[in-house]
Structure 1
Amino acid sequence: MTESFRAIPIPAAKGNRYGFLDTIRGLVIISMVFYHLVWDMVHLLGVSGIDMRSSGMFLWQRSICWTFILLSGFCWPLGKRHFRRGITVFGAGMLVTAVTLAVMPQNRIVFGILTLLGSCMLLLIPLEKLLCKIPAAAGLALSLFLYFFTANVDQGYLGFGGFSMISLPQSWYQGNLAAYLGFLPPDFFSTDYFPLLPWMFLFLAGYFLYRTVSGSHIWRRIRVLNVPALSFLGRHSLLIYLLHQPLLYAIIQLAG
């Protein structure tokens, strides 16, 4: 069974109309860099005493990923060039896959979070007309329900937590397409694995969350709140991700 213990950011829209979103993104970018630093110290330097599979580390990693995926869905209605942005993010995910397969196949990233986000951005283009017909609050509730209901699809069932309600055919769990969709084959491995199921439903939750709050007085007030340094990091999150790991590797090699 493959678990994801890496975290990757989403790209930010240009401009500063929504400084609050960029500020949150920038804050989580910092958390991501520190998480990856700890991950590298454990896996590359062999630092002991840190259990990357502990509940605390798992929640740290998940908090980063949950925030970025929700933010990406939240920001989707604010963008205009969805196809271009989706292709860019998906292409960045493919680049990460190619580089990790070539340089460090033992820590390869296949169907990571960038691939997921790019896929979601592209899939929402044909789905938007249908999604617009769904009441925002109902769509948010349904998306969250489906996210938790499909959270264990990689383990062969639909249900909540450890409670299996519907067992899925083992014949579905074969090949790379199955892995991309969320039906994890037993021989598949990736240090960063974010398939469409269940994660697209979290992206959709972000999309419906924006529609739910976009007309509220509170949102109109907080959307312009801005911490310039954090906002700068948030606007350049994709570039930071692509560069920060090589820099961390270089620092660790020098330290080692």
Structure 2
Amino acid sequence: MAAKRFAVLDVARGLAVIAMVIYHFSWDLYWFGFVDWPVAEGAGWKTFAGMIAGSFLLLAGVSLDLAHHEALRWRSFWRRFFLIAAAAAGVTLVTYFTFGSSFVRFGILHCIAAASLVALPFIGRPFWVALIAAVFLLTLPLWADSPAFDGQIWLWTGLGTPDFGSVDYVPLAPWAGVTLAGLALSGAFRQRETWDRLGRLSLSGRLGRTTQLMGRHSLAIYLVHQPVLYGLVWLVASLGPELDRAGDAFISNCASACQDTLGTSEICTAACTCTLDHLKADGTWTLLVTDPADQSLRTRMNDQYLLCLADPEQRPPVNR
């Protein structure tokens, strides 16, 4: 017998999908230089990404409990597992050709598939058993981290230091603990008959129906949305005016270094912008981008920076 669908669960998954699309679209805009938001390294953005990943993993645990708490429906379980595993393999393959060495080795789909296997022994058990296992996995990196797990072979564990950068990395520890927490949460809800009350919520308004539809097709949206968004932003970047990512990076790094000395954001940004304008005007910038290690060019850049620091409002001469 098929497991009952809960509108509130589909809505929750749909909201996670919306948040995921917002994050990935922001990342694409940052990658192509349309915005200077610190999507890749900002603490707030990292927290946002972690909350999105955690939402999907928590809901995966809830779904496992709702679908299998009475008895494991093996055919349904393995069908879902191999579908997610195949999708994860596809993500690895596509990102290998798109991002090179930063391809996804063990991302959110890999973790959901593996966490489903980890959760198997706890399905149908009292909720507190899964809760104890969740705490164990969530805290595992705090006390079991070891150089023995460094490198590629054990990267999936989350207990070592990876020797790579990846656009998506969600290891089993601590993240599988979130799936077990979802399993425990759903079990506690069943024990307290919370699901009976939540099951009465239809959320049948237009917004509710749309969000539920997205939640029911979250895997398909996950696989399709990023190639579409990335392709659209790439197309705009290709057809539109060329963006000076190197120049933006120079101003950002220059202003950051300047503030360490002067501590004045406005003056530093103005001085660095002035420096870049002068370097572009006399052709030095093009030479620097081509050969950033050239000491004479760097000396010229530093001299111009000192001049601009003294007078940030000066303008480069106009070539006639």
Correspondence for 2:199: 223
**Structure 1 counterpart SS, 2:41:** coil
TM-score between the two structures when normalised by the length of structure 1: 0.79
Alignment of 1:197 onto 2:163: no
1:121 and 1:144 map into 2 onto residues whose CA distance is 13
* Equivalent residue, structure 2, for 1:172: 149
Question: Relative to 1, partners in 2 of residues 1:15 and 1:224: Cα closer, same or farther, differing over 3 Å?
Answer: farther
How far, CA to CA, are the matches of 2:229 and 2:136 in structure 1? 37
Counterpart residue number, 1:70: 58
Give the one of 123, 139, 160 matched to 1:149. 139
CA distance in 1, matches of 2:37, 2:109: 30
Deviation at 1:90, TM superposition (A): 1.3
Deviation at 1:145, TM superposition (A): 2.7
Question: Hey, what's the Cα distance between the residues in 2 that align with 1:184 and 1:83?
Answer: 30
User: 1:180 touches 1:196 (CA, 8 Å); kept in 2?
Assistant: yes
Q: Which ranges in structure 2 are unaligned for 5 or more consecutive residues?
A: 68-72, 238-320
Post-superposition CA distance 1:168-215 (Å, at most 9, x none): 442232432x11122334423322111111111111111111111114
Residue identity over aligned pairs, in percent, reads 30
Shift of the 78–49 alpha-carbon distance from structure 1 to 2, 3 Å rule, reads closer
Is the CA contact (8 Å cut-off) linking 2:105 and 2:169 kept in structure 1? yes
1:136 aligns with 2:131: no
Report the number of matched residues. 224
Specify which structure has the bigger relative contact order, considering alpha-carbon pairs within 8 angstroms and separated by 6 or more residues.
1
Aligned pairs (5 A) from 1:31-50: 31-50=19-38
Structure with greater proportional helix content: 2
Instruction: Name the larger-Rg structure.
Output: 2
**Matching of residues 81-160 of structure 1 within 5 Å:** 81-125=76-120, 127-128=121-122, 132-133=124-125, 135-137=126-128, 139-140=130-131, 142-150=132-140, 153=141, 157-158=142-143
Give RMSD over aligned pairs.
2.3
Relative to structure 1, is the Cα distance of residues 101 and 220 closer, same or farther in structure 2, using a 3 angstrom cutoff?
Answer: same
Name the residue aligned to 2:164: 188
Say yes or no: does 1:242 pair with 2:223: yes
Classify the secondary structure of the residue corresponding to 1:193: coil
* Whole-angstrom CA distance in 1 between matches of 2:110 and 2:88: 5
In structure 1, distance between residues paired with 2:40 and 2:200: 37
**Runs of 4+ residues deviating >4 angstroms:** none
Alpha-carbon offset, residue 60 of structure 1: 1.3
CA distance 1:96–1:186, change in 2 (3 Å): closer
Distance 1:203 1:180 in 2: 16
Aligned to 2:186: 210
Give the TM-score normalised by structure 2. 0.64
Which residue does the alignment assign to 2:43?
Answer: 55
Q: Look up the match of 1:9.
A: none
